[in-house]
Structure 1
Amino acid sequence: MSDITTIFWDLGGVVLTNAWDREQRVKVLNEFGITDPAMLNEFGDRHREVAALFETGQCSLDEYLDMTVFGLTNGFTKEKFIQKMFEQSKAIDGMSVLQSIAASGKYFLATLNNESKELNEHRIKQFKLDNYFNAFFSSCYLNRMKPDPDIYRTALSITQNAPAECVFIDDRAQNVQAANRVGIHAIQYQNPGQLTQALASLGVKL
């Protein structure tokens, strides 16, 4: 087995909470008084129509909000809504594993995550992720999303690594399976202990 040189990480569900999944969307909408099921359904429809554009950097956060929330109501300011969006992000237990591996200095660490530009950059700054990661292969920069196999191939091309030298960590099975199909060792994250054991089985030492 090739020695592991590079570890690609998802963020939401592994290192941080999800940034803007359904749970976060409903919570923020409710906080701004949008609780009517018909309005929530309409927002959901609008979100689905533009989500891929938003997460692949083809529309800005302002444009996304204009096409979703502020197409339904203007009873609050965009600035306050964005602040609430940002407040949904929290560190979770996988952060401890990331910090330990980063401290070892033995591996090239990069994100491989689906996220919109503004939320991604807020999370990088808020949680000082540039202290741990050498690069950010995010959907908003690469203009494609997991589980599209091209996003994994692009990350491999940029780093000039063979798939067998890399590990990918994600909490979602379809993303893990997609990485496996291009030859990357992939781990579906459950908890820090399970992740540590799975990495050790591949020769990754904390």
Structure 2
Amino acid sequence: MFIKAIIWDFGGVIIRTEDPASREQLIADLGVTRDYLSELTFSGEAGTRAQLGEITQAELWQHVRSELNLAPSEYPDLMKRFFGGDVVDFELVDYIRSLRSRYTTALLSNAWNDLRGIITNRWNFADAFDVMVISGEEGVMKPDPRIYQIALERSGVQPPEAVFIDDSIENIEAARKIGMHGIHFQNPEQALVDLEKKLGHS
């Protein structure tokens, strides 16, 4: 089958931590480990519930602040420093946008339920995608096969007609298991070379 849809992860692909210094200094100042902060915000119970849409982003950060024993005056500084090194790759966004004349483009992200609004209103690139599937809106997250099926159905394609690009090998393997093509994102140059090969452009 020919490829008809290209499905993109968001965190670690379209937005990446290009300068870890701010977050690393935050970790040092808090006296915690990188793994502990990651568990608090993403991989732990509260982070997972936020990505499933069971609690809001505000409730998640309230939990994080409580666990870290931070005063209210320190709240804004926490988020600014945590996300300070994250950068949207607008060149990649332009590339994705250029694909829309030939392919269905979709976003498939484990993210809080405010991501759609941020992409639409703050960063202004919702037009790069025909479809956006966000775990916080769906109540299911990668690598659960159900969220891949949602993305496929809304894109109007069968698994062999879709390429999925993600920085998590676990998520790529889950996509391949249901018959999708997968590209493990390591950097933009590598990913686009691999994608062009999949599409038969090189």
Give 1:1-206 correspondences, 5 Å limit. Answer: 2-17=1-16, 26-27=23-24, 29-30=26-27, 34-37=29-32, 46-47=40-41, 48-71=44-67, 72-76=69-73, 78-85=75-82, 87-92=84-89, 95-104=90-99, 105-118=101-114, 121-203=117-199, 205=201
How far 1:118 sits from its partner (Å)? 3.1
Measured after TM superposition, the shift of residue 165 of structure 1 is 1.0
Provide the rounded CA distance (Å) in 2 between the counterparts of 1:153 and 1:197.
Answer: 26
Q: Whole-Å Cα distance in 2 between the matches of residues 24 and 129 of structure 1?
A: 27
CA distance in 2, matches of 1:122, 1:191: 23
Note if contact 2:143-2:170 (Cα within 8 Å) is conserved in structure 1: yes
Aligned partner letter, 1:74? A
Moved more, 121-130 or 106-115: 121-130
Matched residue type, 2:8: W
Q: Deviations over 1:136-172 (max 9, x none)?
A: 1111111111111111112112223111111100111
| Alignment check: 8 A CA contact 1:177 1:186 kept | yes
The Cα RMSD (Å) is 3.1
- CA distance in 2 between partners of 1:168 and 1:24 (Å): 30
Give the residue type in structure 2 aligned to 1:62.
A
TM-score with structure 2 setting the length: 0.80
Check the 8 A contact 2:7/2:106 in 1, yes or no: yes
Gaps of 5+ in 2: none
The percent of aligned pairs where both chains have the same amino acid is: 24
**Partners of 1:127 and 1:79 in 2: how far apart?**
20
Deviation at 1:194, TM superposition (A): 2.2
Q: Which runs of 4+ in 1 moved over 6 A?
A: none
Counterparts of 1:110 and 1:56 in 2: how far apart (Å)? 19
Q: In 2 relative to 1, CA 45–142 (structure 1 residues): closer, same or farther, beyond 3 Å?
A: closer
Contact 1:110/1:134, CA 8 A, preserved across alignment? yes
Instruction: Give 1:98 shift.
Output: 4.2
Distance 1:125 1:140, change over 3 A: same
How big is the shift at 1:80?
A: 5.0
Q: Which moved more, 1:116-125 or 1:126-135?
A: 116-125
Q: Which residue identity lines up with residue 202 of structure 1 in the other structure?
A: K
| Alignment check: 8 A CA contact 2:131 2:151 kept | no
Gaps of 5+ in 1: none
